[in-house]
Structure 1
Amino acid sequence: MAGDIEIGSQHVIKVENVTKAFATGKGTHVVLDNVNLEINEGDFICVVGPSGCGKTTLLNILGGLERADGGTVLHRGIPVDGPHPSRGVIFQQYALFPWKTVLGNVEFGLKLKGIPKRERTEIALHYLDLVGLTKFKDAYPKELSGGMKQRVAIARAYAVDPEVLLMDEPFGALDAQTRGQLQEELLKTWEKEKKTVFFITHDVEEAVILANRVIMMDTHPGRIKRELRVDLPYPRNQETKLLDNFTQLKNEVWMSVYHH
């Protein structure tokens, strides 16, 4: 089904009964209500749902950037209680250092890990090659297009070798053509690197082209409404979107999330 990609049955992250609420002027707003989810080795999970359903809050809790009010999140059986290099986070706004070159940005996390200069450069160049940016290694972020900046952010996240990549609408601000291109690149990188990916998107088509599992969320309060397994074979590309069963899956997700 998934070519030579082994989607393991071993769960990497386990979310159990997670709840999160914020105090507002009108009282308590429950953002996540009793969320349960198992993320398995090599999964590419896409999460879709209306605005305000808690997608980003859930991602932040998985990344250790926010704490749940109730329930637990375990990464390989260990409670998540803060950020960790084993979980790389990629946001929609590229968060690159403007004063560093492309290479310097990708090397940054490796430097924090104490990896020696030569090895650092070697690793960074490998990932820049993977995202097709080798010849821009000496450029600065201001000289790059949005799509290129996002590629640098992806290379930087991959370079520190996290086990799990948490991606919050990383292609949300890009035009359709660049977006399609980066979807294909991300899939190719995923097939090579075998990372576990948890990817938030508003775009149903994007969810179906990327994921082996689509998680659909409901709002007020945010909870998992449904899960759909996407049985389209990998490798996938833009032509996959022309298949009849792609259209069926897309419609199924759309009806489930946005149609009441």
Structure 2
Amino acid sequence: MTEKISFRNVVKTFPMKGADFTALDGVSLDIADREFVTVVGPSGCGKSTLLNMAAGLDEPTSGEVLVDGGTVTGPGPERGVIFQQYALFPWLTVRQNVEFGLRLAGLAADERRERSDHAIELVGLTDFADALPKTLSGGMKQRCAIARAYAVNPRVLLMDEPFGALDALTRVQLQDQLLDTWSRDKRTVMFITHDVDEAVYLASRVVVMAARPGRIHRVVDVALPYPRTEEIRLSPEFGRIRNEVWHSVYHQGAAPAAA
């Protein structure tokens, strides 16, 4: 498959008193076009740092990050970024929030409306297009943030624990909503999470990272069919893969395992 995102021997260090801190050490990873990859690992393993470099919000100390074969040198419209915080403008409606990036891009009103309608429908917020964020639940606000990212038609979605602040039921509902959206209008997705069940349920591959220094511990294939259902979540095979990932995250040895 065609590589969409590539990390090439990425090293990231931060200056500290006395000595530099190595957040990432020699990370190499390819994510294919339209692939859904989750990244999970213990606190301090560099998950968010890796995503921020793919987004162009940070840069490696050495090594290279590429999207579509080109070196990432900063943010770009081909990459939509969704964080745990919703970051919606409270004085704008759902539609106005979704159209914000399109206005900055100078799109005409009719094209903005067409794109926002499509994105809002994808995330199931058509009935709330004229609502203000204060009237929405946490899950609906995050769906609005996802619609805003989709509206600018990115080729890549970079998601940093987007459901981390939600209650368990809403989180499961948003996982299903995201997979439904992805199946209908596929994008390459790199999804950061600390939740092993979420990592396995969403992804075709789970990248398990190790900390101090941050590195890839192993990559686990998730050979479960899409669409994912509650039956799959309760299946013995899901449980087997979940246990494999859990053990890889929380029972890591001192030395990194081969990916």
User: Normalised by the shorter chain, which TM-score bucket?
Assistant: over 0.9
- Give the counterpart of 2:170 among 178, 188, 191: 178
Counterpart amino acid of residue 85 in structure 1: P
Query: What residue in structure 2 maps to residue 76 of structure 1?
Result: 68
Query: What residue in structure 2 maps to residue 128 of structure 1?
Result: 120
Q: List aligned pairs for 1:34-53, cutoff 5 A.
A: 34-53=26-45
Q: CA offsets, 1:44-70, max 9 Å, x none?
A: 000000011000000000000001100
**Distance (Å, rounded) in 2 between the aligned partners of 1:101 and 1:35:** 41
1:113 and 2:105 aligned: yes
Do 1:64 and 1:83's aligned partners in 2 also have CA atoms closer than 8 Å?
yes
Do 1:17 and 1:35's aligned partners in 2 also have CA atoms closer than 8 Å?
yes
Runs of 4+ in structure 1 displaced over 4 angstroms?
Answer: none
1:189 and 2:173 aligned: no
Deviation, structure 1 residue 239:
2.5
Deviation, structure 1 residue 26:
4.7
Q: CA offsets, 1:179-238, max 9 Å, x none?
A: 111101110111111100000000000011100010000000000010011000001123
Counterpart amino acid of residue 214 in structure 1: V
Gap regions ≥5 residues in structure 2: 253-259
Query: What residue in structure 1 maps to residue 143 of structure 2?
Result: 151
Do 1:184 and 1:238's aligned partners in 2 also have CA atoms closer than 8 Å?
no
Do 1:180 and 1:238's aligned partners in 2 also have CA atoms closer than 8 Å?
no
**Distance (Å, rounded) in 2 between the aligned partners of 1:259 and 1:182:** 29
Query: What residue in structure 1 maps to residue 88 of structure 2?
Result: 96
Query: What residue in structure 1 maps to residue 22 of structure 2?
Result: 30
Counterpart amino acid of residue 19 in structure 2: G
**Distance (Å, rounded) in 2 between the aligned partners of 1:252 and 1:31:** 25
**Distance (Å, rounded) in 2 between the aligned partners of 1:90 and 1:11:** 22
**Distance (Å, rounded) in 1 between the aligned partners of 2:193 and 2:102:** 28
Which deviates more from structure 2 when the two are superposed, residues 156-165 or residues 129-138? 129-138
**Distance (Å, rounded) in 1 between the aligned partners of 2:241 and 2:62:** 33
**Distance (Å, rounded) in 1 between the aligned partners of 2:45 and 2:17:** 19
**Distance (Å, rounded) in 2 between the aligned partners of 1:116 and 1:52:** 44
Q: CA offsets, 1:159-194, max 9 Å, x none?
A: 111000000000000011111111011101111111
Q: List aligned pairs for 1:189-228, cutoff 5 A.
A: 189-228=181-220
Query: What residue in structure 2 maps to residue 63 of structure 1?
Result: 55
Query: What residue in structure 2 maps to residue 12 of structure 1?
Result: 4
**Distance (Å, rounded) in 2 between the aligned partners of 1:53 and 1:35:** 11
Deviation, structure 1 residue 17:
0.6
**Distance (Å, rounded) in 1 between the aligned partners of 2:74 and 2:122:** 29
Taking only the aligned residue pairs, the percentage that are identical comes to 59
Counterpart amino acid of residue 199 in structure 2: A
Counterpart amino acid of residue 103 in structure 2: K
- Give the counterpart of 2:229 among 237, 244, 248: 237
**Distance (Å, rounded) in 2 between the aligned partners of 1:132 and 1:11:** 30
Deviation, structure 1 residue 42:
1.0
Q: Secondary structure at the match of 1:114?
A: coil
Q: Secondary structure at the match of 2:173?
A: helix
Query: What residue in structure 2 maps to residue 6 of structure 1?
Result: none
Deviation, structure 1 residue 79:
0.6
Query: What residue in structure 1 maps to residue 257 of structure 2?
Result: none
Gap regions ≥5 residues in structure 1: 1-8
